Structure 1
Amino acid sequence: MPKGIPNPAAMYGIYSRSWGFEVSIVRNGVRHHRLFGKASYGGAEQALLHAQDWRDHIVRSVPPQTRSERAEKQRTNNSTGVTGVFHHLAPNGRVRAWMAKTYIAPDEILRTDFSVADLGDDAQALAIRERARQLERMTGLACIHPAEEAIRMGLSAHPAGPREPKRSKSEITRRNNTSGVSGVHFKTPNPSHPGYWLAITYTAGKGSVSKAFSVKTHGAEAARNLAIAERASQLADKLRAEDDALAAGREPASPAPRRQSRGRAATASGAKRNNG
């Protein structure tokens, strides 16, 4: 958006990227940041919903400074050492008066002057004391964006519909995938080979589980369907093994390879031997 014009409420703190959405909100010098890829959430719509949910969580759980705290932040152009306290100088450079000034609202600006000629050295101390009194009139949180108050009140600017869970890396369908199902690939060892469909699932640091289904044995469509079903079974085994490991309080272990059923499928090397 142009400078000075806030983003629409739905996109507050959210930045659209070619791969998905980036959330970035700064609170008291701390940046809260997370990425939501379209591939990880099954499309742009779900990625945006998850980004908005996380943005809302940050807004509600990490509120900004209060207005009075922000008003006490020292500005670079402050020359008195006390925020909201200023001095008036005479032509000869001597301090003529001290002033306490606080912006409360567009129609309420508090200002009190203390003359050095009348009050002497007490003028500065009185201005500092008056500034503290003025700050007591300042209530509420700092206004970071018009959408924040609505978010904190639970008035979400985005749909409350169902959310798809984040996909694991093994569930993401890559752009070079030709089967339409992640972890399912068609292989041809050589140009004369009829090929086979392979279901394979990786576990980080643990290796992989795979099973191949020969096109010659099952036919092209049936082999593909068997590979898809096998892939789903592998993912279920992997998830079950990870859940069991977490329940036992240890690192998730790799799921054990499933035994092959005779006559149902062949390994990749077996497909090559049978059909080569």
Structure 2
Amino acid sequence: MTKPYGISPYRYRNTEGQWTQLGWRVTIRRRGYIVDRRLNAEQFGGMDAAMRAAIAFRDEVNIECVPLSKREVCATVRTTNTSGVPGVIRTRDRGQDYWKARLLTCDGANRTRQFSIKKYGDEAAFDLAVQARSQMLEMVQGFYVLHPDIKNETRVAPMAECPVMRRPCKLEPEAHPYARVPECDVSGVGITNVKTTTADGKTYTTKYWTSTVRDQAGLPKRRYFSVAKYGEEEAKRLAIEHHLRAAPITTAAGDGS
């Protein structure tokens, strides 16, 4: 049986070190960001229902955040690129200089075309190589992520809309429609739910506002303020106050936040 795309067991380890599956986790990387959501079986009435909910959510993500096509992958500028256009390089062969277009196709064939700088001139030879690379991209079909669960083939952009050059996602990520909304405007302050299992097997959750800073060694240090003890607003205020007071430690440690 093929493993569901983007779905894995959501597990919890108790105080005795034993793992218990609580539900399913959806994790998908898309264009510079990560979608991560946990679906607890108790909330959906069992593992099977939680799996159906996980599949529905994953399919929604795949529709809204289309995977990279192979064309886009081939058009992505690498850190080693020097020409400014992926797959276009300046090369020398038998004492002659050329601009060369190359592309490794889906069937493993390495296609190349080169244009003599002596014959066409540097600028014209470069332009011809870029045009040849664009024509090569027309032969590239499908998605970089290939899995039976990916149903977005009909959403591949026409060749006219596919750029010859594409910047990496990590440099200019698109808006993240599934991004988690931060609980607080102060970076390093957020909500933590601590789950505790008692000796008789009962589980309960305690909510805290937490302040996270880094010491001079770069290790995270957290301070917890219980909502049950202080109340929602006061616990948040104390966490913010602690974080701002400890901010110089973060700066001294070289943390850019």
Normalization by structure 2: what TM-score? 0.49
Higher strand residue share? 2
Name the structure with the higher helix share: 1
